[in-house]
Structure 1
């Protein structure tokens, strides 16, 4: 079928589907700039919202990079990594993990009942709580993507070269491999930094409220229809893009500074005691981080499931008065409806995005022409909220008049970028010799790909499907605003339920989200044969 359609038509349609949303962005981006005299600056608490948003973005992204660098460093210096060590946390939906974290660690939570001392750092909604949750979620993401980027570098030869001149493997990692790895991770780090500074759903549930961060504030303005709120939303959109630009510059500056620091230390003689102390410290940090990731994720998953069956779990009781399935029986219809909507949209998006990514990569390899990754990942370099607000002011709704089609298109666009991050490095590492062999035997291009090249990419394709599905399932802002509330999913329902004081119903939806992700992860591991997460 693809052969009959032709490369030009196929890739042309794909590039139109990727470029059309940008046309709507340019058309609908409001030119109501936050000038010094703008109404935005008179809004109470806007300075605090800006400051707190920057603090969250800077601190969360820096700590995540620090921990991920230490874990990747161990992979580089000790052979093949333990590829399943962050899988549980990586697959956990942000919102589900956040709900469980709040139940476990905040005042009147479960650990507050068990431990003889309080945990005063984690308030129900605070900067510390939000930053901690983002670190727990973004660190595994950086580890998974970092391992893929590391595999594209000749790091073993570099470390051997360093050791041949008397430099330890640990020091060779930091001085030789780390700068190159950091450069390869630049686009990923920019995407993470922009996400942390503009996150909406997790910030609404766990972030400060008085005032909230800038991104939730813009969503609240957008959902109100009076002229002043719409004006504030338009100006806030530009302000959010300004914060994203600052985070991108921060990532680039951080990279340059770290690379200069590492270059300046090359050739210096270091005492063995100092080097041993650094190695011990990094080993402790790595072990503690992995234990924390696995331990907290496991406890969070168990806590969510326990909450759904608990009745009468009042403070300070460690266990509930009784266990019951009454809550599941009372709300199973609503839960199944939301699960069906979430899964159907997610599967359609995952299949379409994976097929599109595969076709685009094969076109590039076939024509020996590499499109710069930055163009294909551009959706990750602009705050998602800013893009959606621009679409709302454009002709988007005329092209996608059906709410479900509008949501699917938005999910596809964002899922494509994340899926490409996962699939492209793995595909680049596979030579074309097997495909060429198939064609020499008289098979067509895609038949050769299926029988000769696809088996080498089974793991990459499975993980691309997994990531695109998880991204679609986790989408909140596009589903809420473009769906106009008529395409409710598990994620949108969970955010709405979390605004109240009840724990059990949000826990049910969070459990369904997490179990959906876990089942997807297990199936991915089975299909890929050799786990990579």
Structure 2
């Protein structure tokens, strides 16, 4: 059974990528017999290079993607060196799950409503100035992409912090700090010169994922990114939506260019990491042993800004009249909720169905692969996890779309479900990988030696210990599925609409109140499932259950001891 599940997982995650890459390559060379293009040519590449803003869009993409990733890595390290092992670190761990639960689109909508020229930030600043007109500068859709950089850096920092947990536990940071401090290094110097060179290579894969996302993001860039011109990913997406199908080779050439750009940046980062850690090592043992680094209050900023988006969206969803520079709306109304309620139910149902199916299937695949690894000592190839996280979605989904259109019949529903499973599986697998490695296999071996079958030993001994991690991984899969925009738009053929697709469409210039309604619901849905998963994991935690039973026995024994003898 485990062998079959392992093979099915590899098939689902790898086999469809072949027609995906083939479809985009054939389209890029203008070979699309369905559209009457029977002879290969480079017309698509010529059209892409001839577009006036192609080079500028590539430059903006490089600048914003690299800057956002560098800021996220810097924020993560500063928070770790300041808070790891302190009393506040446990609070940080508890806040990571709800921070990760908020979808990027909901965060982007709240960010736009807060930092727009007439947003709450400028309304508060107007209290201390004589300005009664909206400010001319803004962090939303600014030409330099500063708002996009800050939004991506803040949103990706919790992900890197979560990925750092397992890495730092394996490194035994406490022992490294003790040895470094005994040699005269203060805490910040020890983190910078001893822990950082070991932490950075171990975080290579998560940093790759952050870089790839920053370079290829479409939905967030459409809402708060620069518009004159757009980032290259948004420009390629606009080419895909061109009504003239004869121009599809230009879009395919852009998708391949985006993939090459992403791959080149990842190679450049790998070279930078090698040079800074392995070649130029003088900075690790020279210079001052006393360094002062900030970071104690940095996590508060990273956590407060995403959670500030919730009240912003809530107020805007009920605001009927809100003139600048008023801090509070002068009139409220539920008209927009009533107007969109029927449509919201339909969209939420579609999102729930897609999320529940894809997260559950991805969870089964991940558990099967991890159990297969424990039994046969053969893990899932890194390529299976790397492809969905590192390859730009536009570069592969368009090719899959072209391949699906060549098949007879309607395949948009199963193709959309498959895409959600493909992109949810790596995150679910990574969320379970640490708990599976830390579980002591001798417990199930002892149960087997007492005569239990393999399944019974697993269900009675291992399952209660890993159930909290399973519930949280399932919530992570749901959150990833809820956030998928491009897979639903491309493979759904416009026939499947979710909260995310509708929120992105409405955030591009419609009424702010309606955008806030959709952003609030999209943010609320993952938070509900994370809350359910956290509550269920606390209830099902065997350590907590045993502690409660011991406490009840102690209370009962105390009652018996104090009861008088007659």
**Deviation per residue, 1:362-420 (Å, 9 max, x gap):** 10111122344344332212101111011012247739833222111000001001222
Counterparts of 1:381-420 in structure 2, within 5 Å, are 381-395=390-404, 398=407, 401-420=410-429
Offset from partner CA, 1:308-364 (integer Å, 9 cap, x none): 111112323222122222221121000111011101110111111111101101101
Task: Give distance in 2, aligned partners of 1:7 and 1:297.
Answer: 41
Q: Structure 1 pair 262/464, CA: closer, same or farther in 2 (3 Å)?
A: farther
CA distance in 2 between counterparts of 1:309 and 1:53 reads 36
Is residue 225 of structure 2 the alignment partner of residue 207 of structure 1? yes
Aligned residue number for residue 6 of structure 2: 11
**Correspondent of 2:320 among 291, 311, 315:** 311
The answer to whether the aligner puts 1:190 opposite 2:208 as a matched pair is yes
Report the CA distance between 1:77 and its aligned residue.
5.1
Question: Counterpart in 1 of 2:23?
Answer: 28
Matched, 1:47 2:55: yes
Matched, 1:98 2:108: yes
In structure 2, the CA distance between the partners of 1:368 and 1:410, relative to structure 1 (3 Å rule), is same
Quick one: structure 1 residues 460 and 121, their matched pair in 2 at CA, closer, same or farther if it must change by over 3 Å?
Answer: same
| Partner deviation per Cα, 1:86-128 (whole Å, 9 max, x = no partner) | 4443221111111111111120112212213658351445411
Does residue 70 (structure 1) correspond to residue 78 (structure 2)? The answer is yes
> In 1, distance between residues paired with 2:45 and 2:413?
40
The correspondence of residues 331-410 of structure 1 with structure 2, limited to 5 A, is: 331-395=340-404, 398=407, 401-410=410-419
Give the aligned partner of residue 491 of structure 1.
500
TM-score normalised over the length of structure 2:
0.86
Q: Counterparts of 1:399 and 1:20 in 2: how far apart (Å)?
A: 19
C-alpha spacing 1:36/1:525, structure 2 compared with 1 (3 Å)? closer
Shift of 1:147: 1.6
Max radius of gyration: which structure?
A: 2
Pair 1:159-2:177 in alignment? yes
TM-score, normalising length: structure 1: 0.91
The alpha carbon displacement at 1:146 in A equals: 1.4
Match of 1:3 in 2: none
| Cα distance between partner residues in 2 of 1:338 and 1:227 | 29
What is the alpha-carbon distance in structure 2 between the residues aligned to residue 429 and residue 374 of structure 1? 23
Inter-CA distance 431–75: structure 2 relative to 1 (3 Å threshold):
farther
Structure 1 match to 2:124: 114
Q: Following the alignment from structure 2 to structure 1, what is the Cα–Cα distance between the partners of residues 406 and 462?
A: 40
Mapped to 1, the partners of 2:288 and 2:280 lie a distance apart of 13
Cα gap change, 1:376 to 1:446, in 2 (>3 Å): farther
SS in 2 for 1:486: coil
Q: Return 5+ residue gaps in structure 2 as ranges.
A: 30-41, 130-134, 542-566
Do the aligned residues in 2 keep the contact of 1:56 with 1:197 (CA within 8 Å)? yes
Cα distance in 2 for residues equivalent to 1:367 and 1:378: 24
Moved more, 56-65 or 491-500: 491-500
Q: Residues 444 and 251 from structure 1, CA distance in 2 versus in 1: closer, same or farther, beyond 3 angstroms?
A: farther
Q: Alpha carbons of 1:104 and 1:524: their partners in 2 closer, same or farther (altered >3 Å)?
A: same
Question: Is the contact made by 1:67 and 1:286 (CA closer than 8 Å) also made in structure 2?
Answer: no
CA-CA distance at 1:164 after TM superposition:
3.5
Secondary structure of the 2:494 match is coil
Contact preservation (8 Å) 1:48, 1:211: yes
Q: Structure 2: how far apart are the matches of 1:92 and 1:213?
A: 23
Alignment-derived partner of residue 170 in structure 1 = 188
Cα pair distance change 1:155/1:37, threshold 3 Å: same
- SS of 1:72's equivalent in the other structure is helix
Change (3 A) 1:399 1:381: farther
- 1:262 Cα offset (Å): 7.8
The structural deviation recorded for 1:35 is 9.5
Structure 1 distance, partners of 2:386, 2:462, is 25
Contact 1:162 1:172 in 2 (8 A): yes
Aligned counterparts of 1:301 and 1:522: Cα–Cα separation in 2: 16
2:153 match: secondary structure: helix
Query: 1:269: Cα distance to partner?
Result: 5.6
Is the CA contact (8 Å cut-off) linking 1:419 and 1:468 kept in structure 2?
Answer: yes
Gap change, CA 1:97 and 1:63, over 3 Å in 2: same
Q: Please give the alpha-carbon distance, in whole angstroms, between the structure 1 residues aligned to 2:381 and 2:12.
A: 18
* Cα separation, 1, equivalents of 2:363 and 2:522: 21
| Whole-Å separation in 1 of the counterparts to 2:118 and 2:84 | 42
**Farther off after superposition, 463-472 or 37-46:** 37-46
Alpha carbons of 1:50 and 1:9: their partners in 2 closer, same or farther (altered >3 Å)? same
**Do the aligned partners of residues 256 and 399 (structure 1) sit closer, same or farther apart at CA in structure 2, a change above 3 Å counting?**
farther
Q: Quick check: 1:89–1:294 contact (8 Å CA) kept in 2?
A: yes
Cα distance between partner residues in 2 of 1:308 and 1:239: 40
The C-alpha deviation readout for 1:259-285, integer Å capped at 9, x for no partner, is 2488323443625xxx2xx33x32xx3
- Worse overlay, 321-330 or 361-370: 321-330
What number of residue pairs does the alignment pair up? Answer: 517
1:284-323 maps to which residues of 2 (within 5 A)? 285-287=295-297, 289-323=298-332
2:156 to 138, 150, 153: 138
CA spacing shift, 1:324–1:360, aligned 2, 3 Å: same
RMSD, aligned α-carbons? 2.4
